[in-house]
Structure 1
Amino acid sequence: MLLEPLPEQAPLRKQLKDAARASRGKHDDEVSERDRVRHERLAQWELTVGIEIHAQLNTSSKLFSRASAEYTDVPNAASWPFDLAVPGSQPLFQPAVLVPAIRAALALKCQIQRRSKFDRKHYFYHDQPAGYQITQYYEPLARDGHLVLTQQDGLGEKDGGKIEIGIKQVQLEQDTAKTQEQDEVTSLIDFNRSGHALIEIISLPHLHTPEAAAAYVRKVQSILYAVDAATTGMELGGLRADVNVSVRRLDDNTSNHSYSGVGGLGQRTEIKNLSSFKSVEDAVRAERDRQIDVLESGGTIEGETRGWSLSAPGVTRRLRGKEGEVDYRYMPDPDISPLYIHPEVVEHLREHLPPVPEQLLDMLCANYGFTVVDAQALLALDNGGRLLWYQDIVAHLKVRENDVRSRLGVQVGNWVLHELGALLTTTETQWHPGLIDSQQMADLVSLQAQNKLTGPSAKRLLRILFDGDKRSVAEIAEEENLLFMPMTDEEYDALADAVIEANSSEADVVRQNGKQAKGKLKFLLGQMMRQGDRNRIEAQRAERILQTKLSPVGA
């Protein structure tokens, strides 16, 4: 009896690959469908976000005492009686805190108020021993500012190319003490931070996406750094954000809730003490989705304060009901006189205001030949410290601005961003201003610009400087035999002839095919570079010699 042949089957490996591909395709289709449904759902709602940013000012003393504002890791070592709310102690306003505060307000396009005053915001918590915080609720330092965000700041497509966020006010206030939770029943309090001078920057509810909220906080921090108003940001706890989030259905015109006094918006909730840009974005997104879920299921949003934890990301959690003006029992502080700021002081600080990020970006691109991407990278590095180092290097080179733009600006930028950046990454080293002296770096760039250093020799010299050598660059280059001594025409000819003779088959291919044999030509060039003195041979000149000697037959 004859058996019918079995149908041909694909090899097992191919079957497994096909099955995996089909599974991925199905998964991708499911993800795509979920994204479509989610997008359609979100399109029915409008998200509105307002943000309160608390930033430590760059001052040497606290707001109402002469205690040092410098960081110390010794608990409670930098506190005066008033910071601890010792009975009988009195506030002593430190006028120097006004300088960075006014700089910040001016950079945010605010109007500095001729008169401002301090109020008491009452609440009891162990990080505020007086039972109240001194702030400026009714008559703040500055009002009516604005900040512009563009795609360069991280705006997504949903926000368009440009949005303007209004800033309601900038006010001075005290920071609280720092709490360290030991266990469920024990908390340790460090009063070193208590009484630090803060500014609170209160935005209007003009933000409508999580990405824009994070971009706003990032932009504010960069401005505060640029004008020397703050020395630390979110990464070190010197800047914290509270976000106010509400949603409303786009076809709902009946809402009678309010958002900071603005009619027609949904009931807001506040998420406190966000300490990273990612936390801002993720917390806004999570709270938006939670509120939509509640409203779509027929529930209502309560005015409340909520928390966000990095240990349990993805959800906000209720902390307490939202306090209002009545709950805080605001009252003018009877122990502190109003502040009167003379317009001449404001104008002097305005005239001497350091450039803000947009101005620095334009300067790097227009004057120094940077691309926008490289300029943004340089501005973001080391809180602006790398930019200052770059400018010191350029100053040491003593070149005219147009010379910098055409040649040396880009060359210095490449060393500062890419070559040094590669060393920092591979060695896991933290950059600091004393790592390489700016004069040494300028001398290195100058030698290379004069063709006295080859690329490899310059990189080797950079590594020597990176490792801490404090000798002059000229001395290092000479003693390490790094200086470029050009080869003569006769030496190039002799080296090319030797390479061609040792690799005759490759040379014949180049002779027969000319430009079509680029790979063989590059091979021969590589042989010349290996056999020649690396401090003397130039790749471009060596390639020209080879091309001349191996020009195609009959050419």
Structure 2
Amino acid sequence: MKEEAKARKAQARAGIAPLSTTNRDQTVPGWELTVGIEIHAQLNTARKLFSAAAATAESNDAQEETEPNDSARVAFFDVALPGAQPIFQPATLVPALRAALALHCEVQPVSRFDRKHYFHWDQPAGYQITQYYEPLARGGYVELLPRDGIHGDAPVRVDIVQVQMEQDTAKTLAQPGDVHWLDFARVGMPLVEIITAPQLHHPATAAALVRKIQALLHAVDACTSGMEAGGLRADVNVSVRRLRQEDGTPIGPLGVRTEIKNLNSFRAVEDAIIAERNRQIAAIEAAAAAGHPDPASVIESETRGWTPPSGAGEGGQTHRLRGKEGAVDYRYMPDPDLGPVIIDEGLVRYLGLTLGVSPDEELDRLVDEYGLTAVDAAALMALDGGGRAQYYYDVVDAVEARLLQSGGGEDDVGARAFVANWVLHQLGKLTAEKASSIGDDSSGAAASLGMTPEGRCKVPVDALADILTFRYQGRITAGVAKDLLFAVFRGDVGGENVPSVEQAIEEAGLWFDEIAPDEYRALAEEALDGEAKTLKLFLSPKKYPQGKLQYLVGKLLRMGPEGRTDPQHAETAVRAAIEQWVEEKKKA
């Protein structure tokens, strides 16, 4: 650190501006960034890896909260009591194998457990049981597409070096006064560690990779929860090296890498890589300005932590935790208490056939068959652990059945996109805007949709399908549809012992009695009367005057009978009237 400080002073004296630590560009001219990632994901199992203690998933769900060091979740082996032996739980293999297959890895017929020695309060045995020499699987890959949020327009393939099973450590809870509490309920939780090759060169692409791996693990039911609930963490290895000015090729081997531990959000992955890249480049350039014979050597191989940006607007930064251990420091050795894991080829084949639809296949289906944009499709799949997507499919099926019964067509892509808009956006508004009046507690906290992984929530599928069918057919207005949706969410309509959606519309006289097309045409012509100055803007516009169009539409709506005009139909009528006016003027 002293050397870095001296180098920065020399750089300042030379008049060279250091790289800003807040630079969020994906690339830095003259430099190549290289990143490899290690992802730790908690497996979806009932028991821990080497004990019969319960492996309850950590989450924000109040139903899953347990007391720290709960005896049901801490076995003698977990806290390394003398004489306690590891007992491998075979059921943990199933989600681990699903994870390996989802990543296109080759499952090894024989794998073994090793001891990785290090001494820290979160590891009571003084070693962690992992797989170093003979891991569960090798040689996979993940294909990243532009729609995944990568940098650039070309697909990126990232190789998976290996997937290994290992046990988690205790959870450390920092307290005031340099005191730390330990919750041993997390010790021994079954994990898979996914190790990628150092093939990533842009921070956004690294974050996209973690996001996609999380989606893959969730799709095959391998992982308990995602980053947001603590079920997945990422360590990133970062290095930089110079590029030749002539052709942009790298100069020399990969630079010294540093590891940033325990990143727990996609934003943290991207931000931490950017901050560490900027720190390394600034240090190397400062050393070069100071005349250092080997500027790259000022970067030490070390383990660093991540401090997110502060509320004052300051950028986040990495900080040194300790020197980087190597394989020699860990003293890897085969675990003498555990035998080899021998995996039957038939089990692997069976699991491969039952993985289900991949996230990419589902997204393609939502785009191609359901008419959604890639952004909306990805959002739908990500919400509520996949429950929102299942809810959407169920509502679409129910709406299409109603449309078919009333003489509509099958596979109506317009109806499917229409339903998606409501399921994505209007349902979200229920909790964001409306629910403060029906909070779950006395504090007025916003009520939840209560969406389950099976696609069930406080708004029954049939009730929403009724609302959307009537709205899509133009039998109720958008405002009435939104009010009905809130009434269903509140429990006043569409449930047991309350009026159905159709009964509520009938009793309140909410059916939409829309004016006829010729009445729209007459109102549109009336709205254009006396608007010659405005209409001239439509004659030869460089940019279509959308604002003026909406002004004329609003004028029509005010002139029409209250509650009997539809904004979309009004806009269609006004556009037609404008086009006719423009055509007549051009002829004259």
Partner of 2:369, secondary structure, is helix
Q: State the match for 1:295 in structure 2.
A: 284
Q: Which residue of 2 aligns with 1:6?
A: none
Amino acid aligned to 1:250 = L
Structure 2 counterpart of 1:276: 265
The CA distance in 2 between the partners of 1:229 and 1:41, in whole Å, is 34
> 1-side partners of 2:93 and 2:202: how far apart?
34
Q: Which amino acid letter does the alignment assign opposite residue 482 of structure 1?
A: L
Inter-CA distance 520–508: structure 2 relative to 1 (3 Å threshold): farther
Identity of counterpart residues, as a percentage?
48
> Which residue matches 1:328?
330
Aligned partner of 2:54 in structure 1 is: 68
Aligned to 2:32: 46
CA separation in 1, counterparts of 2:275 and 2:572?
Answer: 62
Distance 1:513 1:106, change over 3 A: closer
SS at match of 2:325: coil
> Which amino acid in 2 is paired with 1:294?
A
Q: Is residue 2:374 matched to residue 1:346?
A: no
SS for the counterpart of 1:200 is strand
- TM-superposition CA deviations, 1:54-106 (whole Å, max 9, x none): 01112222112222222433111121222122222222222222222112111
Paired position in structure 2 for 1:421: 428
State the one-letter code of the partner of 1:122.
H
What letter matches 2:67 in structure 1?
V
Query: CA separation in 1, counterparts of 2:387 and 2:283?
Result: 47
State how 1:379-394 maps to structure 2 within 5 Å: 379-394=381-396
Aligned letter for 1:51? I
Which of 58, 62, 65 pairs up with 2:44?
58
Q: Do the aligned partners of 2:241 and 2:251 also contact (CA within 8 Å) in 1?
A: no
The 3 A distance-change label for structure 1 pair 446 and 291 is same
**Whole-Å Cα distance in 1 between the matches of residues 533 and 266 of structure 2?**
61
Q: CA deviation at 1:456?
A: 2.2
Question: For residues 334 and 34 of structure 1, do their structure 2 counterparts lie closer, same or farther at Cα, with a shift above 3 Å needed?
Answer: closer
CA contact (8 A) 1:108 1:145 kept: yes
| C-alpha distance after superposition, 1:305-344 (max 9, x if no partner) | 1121227753322222211112111111122221122122
Amino acid at match of 1:447: F
Q: Which of 281, 299, 309 lines up with 2:307 in the alignment? A: 309
In the alignment, the residues of structure 2 paired with residue 82 and residue 479 of structure 1 have an alpha-carbon distance, to the nearest angstrom, of 66
Report deviation, 1:170.
0.7
Specify the alignment match of 1:14 in structure 2: none
Which of 413, 431, 444 does residue 406 from structure 1 map onto?
A: 413
Cα pair 1:382 1:431 within 8 Å, conserved: no
Render the CA deviation track for 1:358-401: whole Å, top value 9, x for unaligned: 11110101111112222122223233221121112123345599
Partner of 1:156 in structure 2?
Answer: 151
Say yes or no: does 1:461 pair with 2:484.
yes
User: What is residue 558 of structure 2 aligned with on the other side?
Assistant: 527
In 2, Cα distance between the equivalents of 1:225 and 1:38? Answer: 30
Give the number of equivalent residue pairs: 500
Q: Is residue 233 of structure 2 the alignment partner of residue 231 of structure 1?
A: no
Question: Letter of the aligned partner of 1:266 in structure 2?
Answer: G
Report deviation, 1:541.
Answer: 7.5
Query: Match of 1:53, as an amino acid?
Result: I
Matching residue of 2:208: 215
Q: How many Å separate the matches in 2 of 1:405 and 1:176?
A: 52
Deviation, 1:40, is 13
Give 1:454 shift.
2.6
2:440 aligned with 1:442: no
* Separation in 2, partners of 1:543, 1:39: 43
Q: Secondary structure, in 3 states, of the residue corresponding to 1:368?
A: coil
Partners of 2:475 and 2:24 lie apart in 1 by 61
Structure 2 length-normalised TM: 0.76
Q: Distance in 1 between matches of 2:372 and 2:265?
A: 29
CA RMSD of aligned residues (A): 3.8
Cα distance in structure 2, aligned partners of 1:442 and 1:161: 40
Where 1:375 maps in the other structure, the secondary structure is: helix
TM-score, reference length from structure 1: 0.80
Q: 1:511 to 1:204 in 2, by over 3 A?
A: closer
CA distances 1:443-475 after superposition (whole Å, capped 9, x unpaired):
222233444323222121111112233243233
Residues in 1 aligned to 2:512 and 2:250: alpha-carbon distance in whole angstroms: 76
Structure 1 unaligned segments of length 5 or more: list them.
1-30, 256-263
State how far apart, in whole Å, the 2-side matches of 1:182 and 1:287 are.
28
| Partner Cα separation in structure 1 for residue 182 and residue 25 of structure 2 | 46
Change (3 A) 1:523 1:355: closer
Partner of 1:198: 191
CA distance 1:269–1:513, shift in 2 (3 Å): closer
Corresponding position of 1:129: 124
User: Residues of 1 paired with 2:155 and 2:533: CA distance?
Assistant: 58
The CA deviation at 1:175 is: 0.8
Aligned partners of 1:208 and 1:48: how far apart in 2? 5
Separation in 2 of the partners of 1:66 and 1:40? 46
Partner of 2:161: 168
Structure 2: gaps of 5 or more residues: 1-16, 59-64, 435-445, 452-456, 539-547
Residue 429 of structure 1: how far off its partner (Å): 4.7
Q: Which has the larger radius of gyration?
A: 1
1:432 pairs with one of 430, 434, 450? 450
Does structure 1 conserve the Cα–Cα contact (< 8 Å) formed by 2:308 and 2:317? no
Alpha-carbon distance in 2 for matches of 1:182, 1:520: 60
Cα deviation digits, residues 406-454 of structure 1 (max 9, x gap): 2321121111112223333324554432231122222222233444323
